[in-house]
Amino acid sequence: MAQEIQKENNDHLVQSSDPEHPANLIPDLCRRFYNWGWVTGTGGGTSIRRDNHIFIAPSGVQKEMMKSDNIFVLEFPTPKYPPSDRKYIRKPLDLKPSACTPLFLAAFERGAGCCIHTHSQWAVLVTLLVEREKGPNAYFEISNIEQIKGIPRGKGKGMMGFYDTLRIPIIDNTAFEEDLTGSLEKAMEEYPDTYAVLVRRHGIYVWGDDVVKAKTQCESLDYLFQLAVEMHKLGLPWVKET
């Protein structure tokens, strides 16, 4: 693959003094996510699309220490190569691209501007509780909590309401992160309005129309997962009984 990297390696694509530039935003976001415990131990990842470029955090680095120089860049739209042939237009020579890349691409192909992947323990616990309580094909659902209003009802459909029931699909984990792509895309088709997919025993993928929406939706979901775990401990049902 090394020969595919352009000589100049397009370092200018990740060099900007603008704090809102994706190559600056990704390290800043990862530092914040690390402090919430979402991406410790090199877990998780983040990707931003801007115009015809996709900026991606690398694999296996300390997320709170990331630098702009560590960012990979792909062209968008990206031809559906198998991962081994994926052509990065900017690639840090000493780092591996994120195994989340095809999953991020699935979100971008559906119009996302930013996609966040966390290993939040609240998300993992919620997937385990749903599996035990409702079976392997069940989704997470919660209703009548104000924070639900932080999640969109679907593209161009406004935000959810307090009385709505939020449903987040859960897919099974796989040995290799890339192999999640098929089931993630299937969940996106079955839940065309969702902005997130939980991965059992693993974490969550959350996306949004832009960076702020992806980040705040990720925060609202994590709030709901933490609340749901505490509610379960206290014997409180997630969906209000009527």
Mind spelling out the 3-state secondary structure of 28-88? HHHHHHHHCCCCHHHCCEEEEEECCEEEECCCCCCHHHCCHHHCEEEECCCCCCCHHHCCE
What is the nearest approach in angstroms of a second copy to the Cβ of residue 57?
Answer: 15
* Sheet of 88-90, strand order: 88-90, 72-75, 53-56, 45-50, 114-118, 203-208, 196-199, 170-171
- Asked if 132 touches a second copy (CB under 8 A), the answer is yes
What is the nearest approach in angstroms of a second copy to the Cβ of residue 163?
Answer: 6
Closest among 212, 53, 206, 241 to 123, alpha carbons compared: 206
211-233 and 121-134 helices cross at what angle (nearest 10)? 50
Site string for a second copy, 153-182 (x = CB under 8 A): --------xxx---------xxx-------
What is the nearest approach in angstroms of a second copy to the Cβ of residue 227?
Answer: 5
Query: Does the annotation place 202 within a ligand binding site?
Result: yes
Residues 177 and 229: their CA atoms lie apart, in Å, by 25
| Region near a second copy per CB under 8 A, out of 1-9, 47-55, 86-94, 196-204 | 196-204
- Nearer Cβ to a second copy (81/162): 162
- Asked if 146 touches a second copy (CB under 8 A), the answer is yes
Query: Does the annotation place 12 within a ligand binding site?
Result: no
Closest among 13, 176, 102, 181 to 5, alpha carbons compared: 13
| Region near a second copy per CB under 8 A, out of 2-10, 71-79, 108-116, 226-234 | 226-234
The catalytic residue positions are 146
What is the nearest approach in angstroms of a second copy to the Cβ of residue 6?
Answer: 29
- Asked if 185 touches a second copy (CB under 8 A), the answer is no
As annotated, the binding site includes: 100, 117, 119, 202
As annotated, the binding site for Zn(2+) includes: 117, 119, 202
As annotated, the binding site for substrate includes: 100
